[in-house]
Structure 1
Amino acid sequence: MSIPRPEYPRPQFVRSEWLCLNGEWEFESDQGDSGLERGLLQRELKDRIQVPFCPESSLSGIEQTDFMLAVWYRRTVTIPEQWAGQRILLHFQAVDYDTTVWVNGNEVGRHRGGFTPFTCDLGESVKAGETETIVVRARDDYRPAQPRGKQSQRYYNYACVYTRTTGIWQTVWLEPVPLSSLRRTRITPDVANSKFRLEQPVTNIQPGMQLSATLSDAAGVVASATCAADLDFSPQLDLPIPAERRRLWSPDDPHLYNLEIALLDAEGKTVDRVSSYAGLRTVTIQGKAIKINGKIIFQRLILDQGYYPDGIMTAPSDEALKRDIELSLAAGFNGARLHQKVFEERFLYHADKMGYLVWGEFADWGFEGRVSWLDSNIPTITYATQWLEAIERDYSHPAIIGWCPFNENIQHVQDRITTHDDALRALFLATKALDTTRPVLDISGYSHRIPEADVYDSHDYLPAGGFQQELAKFKERHAHVGEGKAYTNREPNHEWSIPYRGQPYFVSEFGGLWWNPERAKPGDQQSSWGYGTAPQSVEEFYERFDALCSVLLDDPQMFGYCYTQLTDVFIEQNGIYLFDRRPKFDLERLRKIQSRPAKIEQQ
């Protein structure tokens, strides 16, 4: 049997030697979370599962969609003999949610969080040439407040929350590294000075060590540099690009330079080497516009939730990740909000290669989000921990043009600062501190609480009723941004947000028009749903899509929009494509609607 998802999982920091551990593992559900006491650490497990697919998915071979408070995995692996003398790292790209890892009965690592990678240094637990036993326990109690994104807290999926993901859901792999080795590189493009700045941390640095970096393109070496590796905690290298070799990354020309980084010992011998890539581009704000490389590009975004019928949150193949970007581009979109999920890093790799603009977001849903005078139900510190892990992983991807740590939080307390405000501000400031090169939106939609947030937005779905009447209200709501009066989500007579102060503004969720061409009764929304009153024909859908997009394209104060959504997801049937990615509409017609220049692009 072929190994599922065999591609290299960390495409922007590549070593030549690695071992994919996807495929068949022993598996057992531990409903009472009593497995440690019952000996699951020592004995063979009852079932078999295909990693990296979660047990709720059909691709896993388990397809158990009931709650599982804990699950266990077990497999043996033989460490290649040629890895002798090196540190062996066991990588998990994502496990949901609270994970403990043992090797040969020895605990080697723990991690909390369902969306970010972690690594276990196996140390003395393993030896090259020997067969070792890996055991993983993942706890995922749905009751405590924790970041879970769109995972349902009920038995079934409903409304806009869906089948849960428990346990391993991204690639598991082994990697040998030298005792002194490179850690993840931070790559910062500096367009103004025509160079890349590299920050390169090193593990177990030794006297006399040096760093070497080489930038190249199809024509050969563009720039190279070396520096001492033993004088700074995180050594930095600059790679200046000559004018004749300077080529900016953009949606029209997503050029990527190749990057080789080496760690050298005092004699100049290579100790460690990694391959990477980099895109030279800048993101700036000027007035109401967000510019890429100094050019206004209207952001025609699609809401992408990253769910699949057979894999749930895991794409069935690497090609499926790439295909979702192709589907979006085919319908006329140039980017996406990666909604309520930290996407697999290989999705970002394809976005980098295809010039696809994305906003990196966090799966923050999982706490109540409605703050009473008791000031309860606030985000816990784990939200900050996991969000910073996501930024650290994805910082160097040129396709990411903005960050947003929260979605649709609601703030009811108007007369005092709450610990909820403190939590939101902490994540905003942490994001700005970790990345000074991209704009940060404090919260997408609903309650804006950070005065210095770089971007302001709203979510605006038309309610049920006459479309033309509601369209006129939609247009009126967004007609006053130039007067300093941006539309904000609110309750009747109750303002949630601090005042708008003139930032770039966009409607970051709209549309969501329900249409399922395979239903006998187009208006029947009993077993599926979308926003507003369903169109009665596909022609009516085109008219509505055109009208909604036109309002925002024709607004000179609007820097972009985000249409809901790329695909249907279970009963939420308001996608441009069906859940299985078959098209619902004439894609050329949708692309034509969106392809005309936006007013802000003509300034």
Structure 2
Amino acid sequence: MSIPRNEYPRPQFVRKEWLGLNGEWEFSFDVDSFDKKITVPYVYQSKLSGIGGNEPHEVVWYRKKIDLPEEMSDKEIILHFGAVDYSCKLWVNGVFITEHIGGHISFEVNITSVLQEKENIIVLQVTDEPADLEVPRGKQYWKDNSEGIFYTRSTGIWQSVWIEAVDKIHLSKVFLTPDLDSMQLGVQYELSSDKATVLRTEIYYEEKLMAVNTTDLLRKEGSCKVFLDQQLLKSWNVQEDLVWTPENPRLFDVKFVVYEGERETDTVSSYFGMRKVSIENGKFLLNNRPYYQKLLLDQGYWEDSLLTAPTDEAFVKDIELAKSMGFNGVRKHQKIEDPRFLYHADKMGFLVWGELPAAYVYSRKYVKRITDEWMEEIFRDYNHPCIVAWTPLNESWGVFYIKDKKEEQSHSVAMVHITKSLDQTRPVISNDGWEHTCSDLLTIHDYEWNGEILKERYRTLENTLRFAPGGRPLLAHGWEYKGQPILVTEFGGISYKKGSQEGWGYSSATTDEDFARRYNDVISPLLASPHVQGFCYTEITDVEQEINGLCTYDRKPKIPVETIRAINEGRWEPEDER
């Protein structure tokens, strides 16, 4: 069995009393015989699970026996699942607790009422039907073997499982909204009980207390504004010292304390970045300044563990690798990533576009499933400063007839406005790649490899707007371009075989020099364009049969990172021109 991941699973909402449940669980296919062992949180299809193989099973079972630490005996016990694909039913000590639907989002449940003094048994039944194309699945293939742009399925638990002990009166949720222009923090809170009397909020920067706010509680939900101390702010240059950027990822620490009368009932640690994302006069701005995004498409797959990072350090290494190549962020493609990745992106300074895994057949059932899961994603990850854009739809997947069909256009519009009803702080892309409706950004997918064609295509706005990738217009019928920032958010995809892995790409290189030339051919026209404000290159690593990464599947750069960085910065010259 492999070594389980046991880092704290939710680093933006931290309590001291918790117990990780990753590691060895009893497991079985189809029926609850529990005749196998599996290492959680790795799915059975992965090598690190201890099982491996693509044999399809629509139903799998998990069982875990646990003894609660004595210090948790007088507390409420919350059981957390980071993500379970796709739907599941939960029993504790033989009592049915809940059913959860949605394979990419977290859920929690209070299990205190059914716990026993000594051994407690958790049983989870998971259902994942590969033939159901109305299910949000992203890049997980519905056939047995990977092909094309689709990869190995993930069935079951694929993010951390853990429990935490809380008082009956505790903080359930907070939404943190920084306001850079007034240097304040908006706090929207939810509590478990209306018996709480006070919520105390403390903000620290570099261990210096910057603000304290005490809110008298009249009900379980509410909001407050916390202004940073104006005198203390004079000690720093706001733009240089206090704001969050990929170049300088400054973070403020936050401590929340809940009281019932004089009794302290809960303490939670968090953080936020004082940063602002906005669009003004057709420009994408970060902290009120134009910002050029250089992103990588990141599928979030690993060879031995699929959708689950093999270790927490793997997230750090991917971010370090991308930044060393001159990128400042990723578009997490067709995946809601583990909060640990977002935490490291917050800490290290790395932009992230949040994206919903697609389903592939439009229906009323599809709309409900995808909308529910998307809303939960925004609730979970709203507080992360690294996230600077939301992408609910991609390349008309699930809305194949959106160019003309009014109900599919209405769905796209609804997803944008649902997102904005929950988050007014980030732009929303209506349908990444083409056939946009009411998008905040006009994003284009363009796998042309000829540099001269790309140079002409992005030389003028007229030429760009005339482009129809794959024969699809950039805007759905009835919609017009209204001056939104333009980014090319999929392009390149140059295949280059390094090692034994066979596969494909959108064009092919044969040598290191050829690869560098081809990469320069697709990057330099975008850097030279007067109206393209950023790009997202396909992609950071090879994935299964796709060998179009800048790195191999095991994260080895195919050419020197210094070369890639020089091209990204517009200062590379081919050897024969030096």
TM-score by length of 2: 0.93
Partner amino acid for 1:513? I
Distance in 1, matches of 2:281 and 2:48, equals 48
Q: Cα gap change, 1:137/1:248 in structure 2, threshold over 3 Å: closer, same or farther?
A: same
Matched, 1:367 2:360: yes
Which one of 491, 495, 511 corresponds to residue 471 of structure 2? Answer: 491
Superposition map of 1:36-115 within 5 A: 40=32, 45-115=34-104
Task: Kindly state the Cα deviation for residue 205 of structure 1 after the two structures are TM-superposed.
Answer: 1.8
Partner amino acid for 1:367? Y
Contact 1:4 1:22 in 2 (8 A): yes
Matched, 1:398 2:392: no
Distance in 1, matches of 2:364 and 2:214, equals 50
Which one of 435, 446, 469 corresponds to residue 423 of structure 2? Answer: 435
Partner amino acid for 2:548? N
Partner deviation per Cα, 1:552-600 (whole Å, 9 max, x = no partner) = 1111211100000000001100001100111211110110111249xxx
Contact 1:444 1:458 in 2 (8 A): yes
Partner deviation per Cα, 1:14-70 (whole Å, 9 max, x = no partner) = 00010000010000011xxxx3xxxx2xxx510000001000000000103121101
| Percent pairwise identity | 37
Which one of 504, 522, 547 corresponds to residue 548 of structure 1? Answer: 522
Contact 2:2 2:49 in 1 (8 A): no
Distance in 2, matches of 1:153 and 1:415, equals 27
Matched, 1:259 2:245: no
Contact 1:445 1:488 in 2 (8 A): no
Matched residue, 1:22: 22
Q: Cα gap change, 1:66/1:115 in structure 2, threshold over 3 Å: closer, same or farther?
A: same
Matched residue, 2:443: 457
Secondary structure in 1 matching 2:521:
helix
Contact 2:457 2:463 in 1 (8 A): no
Which one of 546, 550, 566 corresponds to residue 572 of structure 1? Answer: 546
Matched residue, 1:531: 506
Task: Kindly state the Cα deviation for residue 143 of structure 1 after the two structures are TM-superposed.
Answer: 1.4
Matched residue, 2:556: 582
Partner deviation per Cα, 1:176-230 (whole Å, 9 max, x = no partner) = 11111101211111001011111111111216x1000111122421111111122
Which one of 397, 422, 431 corresponds to residue 410 of structure 2? Answer: 422
Contact 2:524 2:570 in 1 (8 A): no
Task: Kindly state the Cα deviation for residue 405 of structure 1 after the two structures are TM-superposed.
Answer: 0.5
Partner amino acid for 1:13? F
Q: Cα gap change, 1:7/1:486 in structure 2, threshold over 3 Å: closer, same or farther?
A: farther
Matched, 1:479 2:459: yes
Matched, 1:353 2:347: yes
Aligned residues: 560
Secondary structure in 2 matching 1:536:
coil
Partner deviation per Cα, 1:386-407 (whole Å, 9 max, x = no partner) = 0111111110100111111011
Matched residue, 1:600: none
Q: Cα gap change, 1:185/1:488 in structure 2, threshold over 3 Å: closer, same or farther?
A: farther
Contact 1:482 1:557 in 2 (8 A): no
Matched residue, 2:188: 199
Q: Cα gap change, 1:500/1:489 in structure 2, threshold over 3 Å: closer, same or farther?
A: farther
Superposition map of 1:374-393 within 5 A: 379-393=366-380
Superposition map of 1:135-534 within 5 A: 135-144=123-132, 145-206=134-195, 209-231=197-219, 233-242=221-230, 243-244=233-234, 246=238, 247-267=242-262, 269-364=263-358, 366-368=359-361, 379-409=366-396, 411-412=400-401, 417-418=406-407, 420-450=408-438, 453-462=439-448, 470-481=450-461, 485=465, 487-489=467-469, 491=471, 496=476, 498-518=479-499, 527-532=502-507, 534=508
Matched residue, 2:8: 8
Q: Cα gap change, 1:235/1:297 in structure 2, threshold over 3 Å: closer, same or farther?
A: closer
Partner amino acid for 1:118? F
Partner amino acid for 2:69? P
Contact 1:181 1:271 in 2 (8 A): yes
Distance in 2, matches of 1:89 and 1:495, equals 46
Contact 1:229 1:235 in 2 (8 A): no
Unpaired segments ≥5 residues, structure 2: 572-578
Q: Cα gap change, 1:121/1:69 in structure 2, threshold over 3 Å: closer, same or farther?
A: same
Task: Kindly state the Cα deviation for residue 165 of structure 1 after the two structures are TM-superposed.
Answer: 0.3
Distance in 2, matches of 1:344 and 1:411, equals 29
Partner amino acid for 1:368? V
Secondary structure in 2 matching 1:142:
coil
Secondary structure in 2 matching 1:407:
coil
Distance in 2, matches of 1:341 and 1:12, equals 20
Partner deviation per Cα, 1:395-439 (whole Å, 9 max, x = no partner) = 010011111101110543665512x22322221111011000111
Contact 2:395 2:433 in 1 (8 A): yes
Distance in 1, matches of 2:370 and 2:55, equals 26
Contact 1:484 1:501 in 2 (8 A): no
Partner deviation per Cα, 1:97-151 (whole Å, 9 max, x = no partner) = 0111100111112111111100121131004x42100000110011121000100
Distance in 2, matches of 1:156 and 1:413, equals 29
Task: Kindly state the Cα deviation for residue 287 of structure 1 after the two structures are TM-superposed.
Answer: 2.6
Distance in 2, matches of 1:570 and 1:441, equals 28
Distance in 1, matches of 2:472 and 2:39, equals 50
Distance in 2, matches of 1:11 and 1:210, equals 24
Unpaired segments ≥5 residues, structure 1: 370-375, 520-524, 598-603
Partner amino acid for 1:214? E
Contact 1:446 1:490 in 2 (8 A): no
Secondary structure in 2 matching 1:272:
strand
Task: Kindly state the Cα deviation for residue 258 of structure 1 after the two structures are TM-superposed.
Answer: 0.9
Partner amino acid for 2:111? L
Secondary structure in 2 matching 1:149:
coil
Q: Cα gap change, 1:415/1:89 in structure 2, threshold over 3 Å: closer, same or farther?
A: closer
